[in-house]
């Protein structure tokens, strides 16, 4: 059973690894709902208690699916997000991603209220354990969005607040309005910018870092050798064109190190993240039961100082080729 970690200073206990449910929407290959529910149940059994969803994943389908999986289960800690507009009849601010497409973001208080009620209805719960702002709305001061989110806490519809894809400065402004329990940001052996100013700020404020795409959207498992034309990762310059071949060569030494330690590359990537601090909670996604077991074993791996130094050198910040998502 995976050990527990505290989600932010004085916050609730959750499994040191959570489960990222986005992968169940077909972005990285087809997924089957019945199998998906079994996979979520297996994640909960291993102690991956935090199940991560968002209203935009599968345009609401992911929350319905997670809702079916957690119904009647007291061991699940359900996290979801709002702010990426996924409905045709709603407006928002264009946010270029740097990957050739824009997201539409809405952080206005009226939208937040409406989005939360829709999420609760799809999930079939009275209250969300953790509710994130998926991306800050460039047209709405983050203070206004967080004040609206805090109203939902006071109304008993949300237990803890989170932010995602924010700067250190935005976290400070938001946290001054209402205590933030967790910030979600991409953090892994191929994306380490969080270490520069975000993570030190979170530590100062007592906020947990939930690491999204902790396996580099699959790259760090060493199993991605090609992608289907419809795979969402075709948008990602780290996979597209020559990106995958270039990065495979650059990360070959870290894959070799995993083999030397009799670990899978996925386990090494997750174990390294878990060693970065008790306040880091990675949320790997998989559609496969057997990989839940493989990934959960990362919690039991102990890396010594010399091994951590070697990983730090082999997967130094900036090693990956290709611009990451904003």
Ligand X SMILES: NC(=O)c1ccc[n+]([C@@H]2O[C@H](COP(=O)([O-])OP(=O)(O)OC[C@H]3O[C@@H](n4cnc5c(N)ncnc54)[C@H](OP(=O)(O)O)[C@@H]3O)[C@@H](O)[C@H]2O)c1
CB closer to ligand X out of 11 and 136? 136
SS3 132: strand
247 makes contact with ligand X (CB under 6 A): no
Shortest distance in whole angstroms from residue 266 CB to ligand X = 4
Binding-site size for ligand X (CB under 6 A) equals 28
SS3 173: helix
Residue 189 near residue 269 (C-beta atoms within 8 A): yes
Stretch that binds ligand X, among 88-96, 213-221, 300-308, 309-317 (CB under 6 A): 213-221
221 makes contact with ligand X (CB under 6 A): yes
Instruction: Report CA torsion sign: 228, 215, 13, 47.
Output: positive
297 makes contact with ligand X (CB under 6 A): no
What is the spatial distance between Cα 281 and Cα 261, in angstroms, rounded to a whole number?
23
Stretch that binds ligand X, among 19-27, 91-99, 237-245, 310-318 (CB under 6 A): 19-27
Query: Which of residues 49, 170, 213, 247 is near ligand X by CB under 6 A?
Result: 213
Burial class (CB in 10 A: 0-12, 13-18, 19+), 124: middle
What track of x and - describes contact with ligand X for positions 143 through 172 (by CB under 6 A)? ---------------------xx-------
User: Which of the residues 19, 27, 28, 57 is marked catalytic?
Assistant: 57
What is the spatial distance between Cα 33 and Cα 76, in angstroms, rounded to a whole number?
18
- Residue entry with tokens 């289907």: 228
* H or E, element range at 36: helix 33-46
- Residue entry with tokens 């419809």: 230
Query: Which of residues 287, 303, 310, 314 is near ligand X by CB under 6 A?
Result: 287
63 makes contact with ligand X (CB under 6 A): no
Stretch that binds ligand X, among 40-48, 123-131, 236-244, 278-286 (CB under 6 A): 278-286
Shortest distance in whole angstroms from residue 91 CB to ligand X = 21
Shortest distance in whole angstroms from residue 245 CB to ligand X = 18
What is the spatial distance between Cα 310 and Cα 233, in angstroms, rounded to a whole number?
29
Instruction: Report CA torsion sign: 295, 299, 304, 305.
Output: positive
CB neighbour list of residue 124: distance below 8 Å, 6 or more residues apart: 67, 68, 71
Closest residue (Cβ) to ligand X? 20
Shortest distance in whole angstroms from residue 84 CB to ligand X = 8
CB closer to ligand X out of 102 and 155? 102
184 makes contact with ligand X (CB under 6 A): yes
CB closer to ligand X out of 11 and 285? 285
Is position 57 annotated as part of the catalytic site?
yes
Q: Which structure tokens are listed for 54? A: 């968002």
CB closer to ligand X out of 94 and 155? 94
Could you please report the per-residue DSSP string of 91-120? Answer: --EEEE-SSS-EEEE---HHHHHHHHHHHH
Shortest distance in whole angstroms from residue 213 CB to ligand X = 4
Burial class (CB in 10 A: 0-12, 13-18, 19+), 318: exposed
Residue 122 near residue 67 (C-beta atoms within 8 A): yes
218 makes contact with ligand X (CB under 6 A): yes
Query: Which of residues 7, 23, 180, 273 is near ligand X by CB under 6 A?
Result: 23
Q: Which residues bind ligand X (CB under 6 A)?
A: 20-23, 28, 52, 164-165, 184, 212-218, 221, 223, 266, 283-288, 291, 294-295
Tell me the catalytic residues: 57
């Amino acid at each position: 059973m995976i050990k527990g970690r505290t989600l932010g200073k004085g916050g609730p206990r959750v499994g040191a690894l959570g489960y990222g449910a986005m992968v169940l929407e077909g972005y990285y290959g087809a997924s089957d709902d019945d199998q998906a529910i079994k996979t979520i149940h297996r994640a909960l059994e291993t102690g991956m208690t935090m199940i991560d969803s968002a209203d935009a994943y599968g345009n609401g389908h992911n929350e319905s699916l997670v809702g079916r999986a957690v119904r009647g289960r007291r061991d699940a800690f359900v996290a979801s997000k709002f702010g990426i507009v996924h409905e045709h009849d709603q407006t928002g601010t264009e946010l270029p991603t740097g990957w050739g497409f824009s997201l539409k973001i809405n952080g206005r208080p009226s939208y937040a209220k409406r989005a939360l009620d829709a999420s609760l209805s799809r999930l079939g719960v009275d209250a969300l354990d953790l509710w994130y702002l998926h991306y800050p709305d460039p047209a709405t001061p983050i203070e206004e969005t967080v004040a609206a989110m805090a109203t939902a806490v006071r109304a008993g519809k949300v237990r803890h607040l989170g932010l995602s894809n924010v700067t250190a400065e935005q976290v400070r402004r938001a946290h001054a309005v209402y205590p933030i329990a967790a910030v979600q940001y991409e953090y892994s052996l191929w994306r380490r910018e969080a270490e520069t100013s975000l993570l030190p700020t979170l530590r100062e404020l007592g906020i947990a870092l939930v690491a999204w795409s902790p396996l580099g959207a699959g790259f760090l498992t060493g199993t991605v050798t090609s992608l289907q034309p419809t795979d969402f990762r075709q948008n990602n310059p780290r996979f597209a064109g020559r990106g995958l071949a270039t990065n495979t060569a650059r990360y070959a030494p870290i894959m070799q190190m995993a083999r030397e330690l009799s670990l899978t590359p996925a386990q090494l990537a997750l174990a390294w993240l878990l060693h970065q601090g008790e306040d880091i909670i990675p949320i790997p996604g998989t559609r496969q039961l057997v990989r839940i077991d493989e990934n959960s074993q990362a919690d039991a791996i102990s890396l010594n100082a010399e091994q951590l130094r070697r990983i730090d050198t082999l997967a130094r910040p900036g090693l990956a080729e290709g611009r990451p998502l904003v």
